[in-house]
A = this chain, B = another copy of it.
Amino acid sequence: MDEGGGQPSAIDPHTPVGQVGERSLLQHLRSRIPQGTGVLVGIGDDAACVETTARTLITTDCLVEGVHFRREWTEPALLGRKALTVNLSDIAAMAGLPRYATVSLCLPADLPLSFVDGFYDGLLERAAETGVDVVGGNLSAAESRMVVEVALLGRTERPLLRSGARAGDLVVVTGTLGAAAAALHFLDRGVRWRGNGALEGADSYHQDARSCLVRCLRAQLDPAPPLAFGEALAEHDLVHAAADVSDGLSGDLLNLCQESNLSAWVDSSAIPVDSSAAALEKEGGENGFSLALHGGEDYELLMAVPPENLEALQKVALVWEVPLTAIGEFAAGPPTVAVRFGDTSRRLKPQSHDHFVDPLRERRSDPTRGS
């Protein structure tokens, strides 16, 4: 055990960060962060300096307390993992390889050091899993609510855009949809999932429901986008366009349509509604369909795939154990999305998550409210 008196690592974990101070906290965190191989200058200088190739991807995403998360809903390590993951998902959707991250934290002065350490435990674990080097960042006070901002650089030879879809391409999605959104309802009611797998506050649920809860809570608190599959798309010329499903299928598909100047339809019966989300919604008379359409935070990949490439793409997906589902088609026409229910078709009004309008709301509404 490191007991080196005066060493940053010897600070009592209960100390509020306001007492630790900006400089000591920086030094403390710096001592925890390994320097990666492509990192010429890491944390501690005015800027980091990293090795890059001819084309570099950049994305940035933030998690705001009270808007994107609640501190009592998540363990700090899971928050750290998610702060990186939401950016990893963006790089995967560009068919890129994630490389370097900066981490900016705005912290309320009364936040205990242990929370920041837990956050970094998770973030550095996720970084190690994905080959990302943490190269810099910033610490600041926040008045009362924590804000986490991660910027992530990635490498790419041939970025996969939102604007490349063509009429006739299939609408294809990875994984299942709705699980992350289903979890919000239960988090709001006091159910908790720990990073070690333990479920709390769920004693009143029967065993099947508890399994479903774990699956949905994990999807919300520790999402697992198909990163390796996304990166592999750069090697194969099989996909015309891609986006990650972060705001909800309805909004993200409409956005793909807008960027590609196409319309699209999806078959309601083909949408891969997460079975756990569906099971949990059953008691409320719902079936998870609305969550799958509008819930958001799925961090799956939405793609435009020429029909003749689907089989080959399925083989790539198999390698990475990523389920693929063709749910519809892109077509010529103004950017709109229609949902087909058997013989009828209704235009889909996007109800994707808008953080300005309704932070951390539950999203249950008529999935086909016409416009």
Contacts and interface: CB of A to CB of B under 8 A. Distances in A.
A236 to B, nearest CB: 18
Given A140-B67, A147-B106, A56 B50 contact: yes
Contacts of A93: 46-47
Given A17-B356, A44-B259, A141-B359, A104 B56 contact: no
A359 B17 CA distance: 14
Contact of A56 (B107, B152, B153): B153
B356 A137 contact: no
A357 B359 CA distance: 30
A100 B58 contact: yes
Contacts of A141: 64, 67, 355-356, 359
Contact of A161 (B41, B109, B137, B156): B41
Contacts of A136: 58-60
Interface in A56-85: 56-62, 64-68
* This chain's copy number in the assembly: 2
Given A90-B46, A94-B45, A51 B55 contact: yes
Interface stretch (A19-27, A185-193, A267-275): A19-27
A35 B359 CA distance: 31
Given A41-B159, A45-B94, A46-B93, A140 B56 contact: no
Contacts of A53: 52
A354 B58 contact: no
A337 interface: no
Nearest to A357: B21
Q: Specify which of A58, A62, A89 lies most central, judged by the most chain B CB atoms within 10 Å of its CB.
A: A58
Q: How large is the interface on A (under 10, 10 to 19, 20 to 34, 35 or more residues)?
A: 35 or more
Contacts of A109: 356
A145 interface: yes
Interface in A230-246: 242-244
A122 interface: no
A151 interface: yes
A359 B142 CA distance: 10
Interface in A287-336: none
Contacts of A159: 40-41, 45, 47, 49
A312 to B, nearest CB: 23
Nearest to A301: B46
A47 B51 contact: no
Given A25-B356, A46-B89, A50-B56, 4 more contacts: A21-B354, A23-B251, A51-B54, A67-B141
18 contacts: A17-B356, A22-B357, A45-B94, A45-B159, A45-B243, A47-B91, A47-B154, A49-B156, A49-B159, A50-B56, A56-B56, A59-B102, A60-B102, A64-B141, A64-B142, A67-B141, A140-B355, A151-B151
List the 3 closest A-B pairs by CB distance, nearest first. A47-B59, A46-B93, A151-B151
